[in-house]
């Protein structure tokens, strides 16, 4: 029974992986990865890693893949037009030889891994693994993993939480809506920009558009920083995004 389940799940895992690599549409690639992750969770269950399997389904196949689907839906329309443009464009050098070279290196890597697997002197590789007895707090259960995470691997756990915080802040900073990106002179970062970031996605800009935010910011009509713009900005009310919006290229 476990052998049948293993082979079904392994075929699903490998088919999902090949689907991710071979689908040209990124949306189908994401769906293939979802199937791959679900089959991989079955393999984890067969390896008695219940908590890891549950985390795989919830975190990976749930949260991360939803993020992927949103980004594919956001970027997708440009993707297709870009693909059409790229096929019409003459290919740059080295594009034709990339697929055989990649296949050659991946095949060599696979051969090397199989040599390492078959030639290893580990006796337990060809066994079922350590003895296992089901129980409420035995190997692989959430109680077991939680006990390990909060006693022996507490530092690792806290470091992972710090890493998640850094990644969340970095994602917000990278994907925020900022004005003036099209102007090259605006891209220069000075210490004043750090103290007071310009056009960093205020609610007024996002909801009502930049033109309304600009007019609300004190009737500044000049799109670039003219002297009267500077004067009105100094004397104007301290509205967030005041003056910065007038410099944006949008």
Partner 1 sequence: MNIGWYLAVSAIVFCVGAFGVMTRRNPLVVLLCLELMLNGANLSLVAFSRMWGNGDGQILALIVMTVAACEVCIGLGMIVAIHRRRLPIDVDELRELQG
Q: Segment 97-136, which members bind partner 1 (CB under 8 A)?
A: 98-99, 101-103, 105-107, 109-110, 113-114, 117, 122, 124-132
- Distance CA(248)–CA(223), nearest Å, equals 8
- Distance CA(15)–CA(39), nearest Å, equals 10
Tokens of 138: 């035995």
Q: Considering only 138-146, 192-200, 208-216, 238-246, which stretch makes contact with partner 1 by CB under 8 A?
A: 138-146
Q: Is 3 in the site for partner 1 (CB under 8 A)?
A: yes
Which residue, 139, 132, 153, 131, is CA-closest to 49?
139
- Distance CA(13)–CA(35), nearest Å, equals 7
Instruction: Choose which of 73, 148, 203, 221 interacts with partner 1 (CB under 8 A).
Output: 148
Tell me which residues in 27-46 interact with partner 1 (CB under 8 A): 29-30, 33, 36-37, 40, 43-44, 46
Q: Considering only 24-32, 193-201, 213-221, 231-239, which stretch makes contact with partner 1 by CB under 8 A?
A: 24-32
Q: What is the DSSP letter of 56?
A: I
Which residue, 224, 220, 226, is CA-closest to 182?
224
The residue count for binding partner 1 (CB under 8 A) is 89
Which residue, 42, 22, 19, is CA-closest to 32?
19
What is the nearest approach in angstroms of partner 1 to the Cβ of residue 155? 11
Q: Which is nearer to partner 1, 6 or 215 (CB)?
A: 6
């Amino acid at each position: 029974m476990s052998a049948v389940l293993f082979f079904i799940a392994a075929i699903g895992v490998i088919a999902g992986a090949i689907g991710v690599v071979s689908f040209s549409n990124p949306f189908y690639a994401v769906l293939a990865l979802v199937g791959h992750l679900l089959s991989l969770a079955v393999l984890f269950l067969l390896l008695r890693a219940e908590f890891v399997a549950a985390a795989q389904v919830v975190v990976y196949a749930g949260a991360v893949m939803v993020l992927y689907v949103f980004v594919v839906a956001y970027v997708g329309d440009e993707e297709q037009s870009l693909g059409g443009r790229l096929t019409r464009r003459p290919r740059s050098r080295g594009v034709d030889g990339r697929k055989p070279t990649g296949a050659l290196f991946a095949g060599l890597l696979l051969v090397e891994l199989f040599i390492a697997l078959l030639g290893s002197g580990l006796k337990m590789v060809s066994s079922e693994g350590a003895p296992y007895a089901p129980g409420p707090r035995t190997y692989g259960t959430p109680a077991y993993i939680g006990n390990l995470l909060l006693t022996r691997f507490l530092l690792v756990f806290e470091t992972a939480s710090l890493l998640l915080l850094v990644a969340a802040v970095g994602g917000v900073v990278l994907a925020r809506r900022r004005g003036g990106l099209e102007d090259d002179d605006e891209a220069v970062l000075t210490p004043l920009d750090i103290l007071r970031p310009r056009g960093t996605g205020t609610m007024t800009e996002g909801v009502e558009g930049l033109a309304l935010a600009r007019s609300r910011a004190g009737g500044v009509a000049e799109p670039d920083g003219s002297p009267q713009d500077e004067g009105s900005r100094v004397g104007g009310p301290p509205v967030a995004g005041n003056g910065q919006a007038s410099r944006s290229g949008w």
